[in-house]
A and B are shown apart, each in its own frame.
Chain A
């Protein structure tokens, strides 16, 4: 499998086959996911794109082990037993209000009883990467929304997982902050060799960040189409929109997506 540009894809990291999810809703059943087949390559940046309520967050939660699939198979290859398999960056504000920036970022490492010196070095590094070094001992209520999301990103990276599961982390931010954080996210990720599965409803975001885009149908969720993104890395965030592939692909993906949005 060939991914666009940067991603060094050697083999398959995540394999989903026939994954379904059914909820009990009142007396009936509600099918959120209906036979998801998807492969994600090692080191690949995959964007899961779909209309609101298509079950893309549910799929992410299943991969994170926070929910159980009703059917199908989820296979994830673990490469290094010393590292955690995946960390999640959540959509809503998810930094612990009772921990300082430093404690939040070090959460995963401290749970794993990583030696204090190593923990401190890792936390300092990622805190610096997201520009929060001066705010190390602040509590989240003293931070802006963008800064809290930066803590959340640093917390996931500092945990050093093999896979990052990212659920629309910039949805609640204003345009300027969103672009800024996309840029920072790419900056940290590029060269980290981590596999990323990034849920978004923004075509723009998916094209800016991803090696490949999997478009989901409206509920029940299925993978409707897949688009490799042939834009080379490293990418500059606002600049990536000027790439000719960006505009062509935007049109093509929108055609697929519009039918799904209309169905809701």
Chain B
């Protein structure tokens, strides 16, 4: 059996492992680029040989053509910009009240008991279901879009903030009390920073909902925006534009995710594995 034991020491093994890992990493990176490109080529090919119906699956080359065309006309930027402005406005209008009320609910048990049942009753209602009501109340203009998104963002931020405050370890509250932190000082030095990781989870959830809601709201009643672009290309049967809208949504979602990642590094630099020192 001894002959199976190679004379290679642990260091050699590690070097081998490291080298293999590096090679693997290289292949992975190449795959990362090649695989989506291959899919697009396959798609193009399938449409050209007639395996895919070009009316429903316009070839990527045609979509790129429309992309250049609408980009030159500024149409695509206007649509994306309109949607983005609505999302950002709705986000601010929903996240800030959610944060403030969440902190208060987390800190004050009386408020928690009073509001929790109401929150848990309203929260499960899909915000899309409220869309007609929101339009009745706020009209067909910008306000109704912003309110829809604000509602979508408000609840996850509220609930996660409150849970974050409740989850702060007791010892930190004891420290704050023993040093005499009261009122606003307590909120700013313990409740808010302690709940912040959880708040960011709420904001992430809210971001996903915001994308969903903006499309729905713009499909129903809007004359601009990404949702409108999807709906109008359905009505005029210009599917290249619809696919372009999908692409924009994908980029928008990715940008939001990257942005929130950055925000987390800035706001929670103290998390292990988080931002700098």
Q: Which residues of A approach B to under 8 Å, CB–CB?
A: 64-66, 84, 86-88, 90, 92-94, 96-100, 107-108, 111-112, 137-142, 159
Residues of chain B lying within 8 A (CB to CB) of residue A90: 171, 174-175
CB-CB nearest in chain A for B197: A98
Residues of chain A lying within 8 A (CB to CB) of residue B172: 94, 96
CB-CB nearest in chain A for B172: A96
Residues of chain A lying within 8 A (CB to CB) of residue B177: 65-66
Given A64-B178, A66-B174, A107-B179; A98-B270 close (CB under 8 Å):
yes
Minimum Cβ distance to chain B for residue A84 (Å): 7
Decide if B270 touches A140 in the complex (CB within 8 Å). Answer: yes
Question: Is B102 an interface residue, CB under 8 A from the partner?
Answer: no
Minimum Cβ distance to chain A for residue B121 (Å): 33
CB-CB nearest in chain B for A108: B179
Give CA–CA (A141, B270) in the complex, Å. Answer: 7
Choose one: B180, B190, B196, B268; the contact of A96 (CB below 8 Å).
Answer: B190
Give CA–CA (A107, B189) in the complex, Å. Answer: 9
Decide if A139 touches B277 in the complex (CB within 8 Å). Answer: yes
Choose one: A84, A94, A96, A137; the contact of B277 (CB below 8 Å).
Answer: A137
Choose one: A94, A111, A138; the contact of B180 (CB below 8 Å).
Answer: A111
Q: How many A-B pairs fall under 8 Å by CB?
A: 59
Decide if A92 touches B277 in the complex (CB within 8 Å). Answer: no
CB-CB nearest in chain B for A86: B178
Residues of chain B lying within 8 A (CB to CB) of residue A98: 193-194, 196, 268, 270
Minimum Cβ distance to chain A for residue B174 (Å): 6
- Residues 177-222 of B at the A interface (beta carbon under 8 Å): 177-181, 185, 189-190, 193-194, 196
Decide if A66 touches B171 in the complex (CB within 8 Å). Answer: no
Question: Number of B residues whose C-beta is below 8 Å from A?
Answer: 21
Choose one: A84, A99, A111, A142; the contact of B185 (CB below 8 Å).
Answer: A111
CB-CB nearest in chain A for B171: A94
Residues of chain B lying within 8 A (CB to CB) of residue A84: 179-180
Question: Is B272 an interface residue, CB under 8 A from the partner?
Answer: yes
Question: Is B269 an interface residue, CB under 8 A from the partner?
Answer: yes
Give CA–CA (A86, B175) in the complex, Å. Answer: 12
Minimum Cβ distance to chain B for residue A48 (Å): 17
Minimum Cβ distance to chain A for residue B215 (Å): 36
Residues of chain A lying within 8 A (CB to CB) of residue B269: 139
Query: 15 more A-B contacts (CB under 8 A) besides A98-B270, A139-B269?
Result: A65-B178, A66-B174, A66-B178, A88-B178, A92-B171, A93-B171, A94-B171, A94-B175, A96-B189, A96-B190, A98-B194, A107-B179, A111-B181, A111-B185, A138-B277
Residues of chain A lying within 8 A (CB to CB) of residue B180: 84, 108, 111-112
Give CA–CA (A137, B179) in the complex, Å. Answer: 22
Residues of chain A lying within 8 A (CB to CB) of residue B271: 141
- Residues 66-100 of B at the A interface (beta carbon under 8 Å): none
Give CA–CA (A135, B190) in the complex, Å. Answer: 22
Decide if B179 touches A111 in the complex (CB within 8 Å). Answer: yes
Given A111-B181, A138-B277; A97-B270 close (CB under 8 Å):
yes
Between A and B, 27 residue pairs with Cβ closer than 8 Å are A65-B178, A66-B177, A84-B180, A87-B178, A87-B179, A90-B175, A92-B171, A93-B171, A94-B171, A94-B172, A94-B175, A96-B172, A96-B190, A96-B193, A97-B270, A98-B196, A99-B270, A107-B175, A107-B189, A108-B179, A111-B180, A111-B185, A112-B180, A137-B277, A139-B269, A142-B277, A159-B179
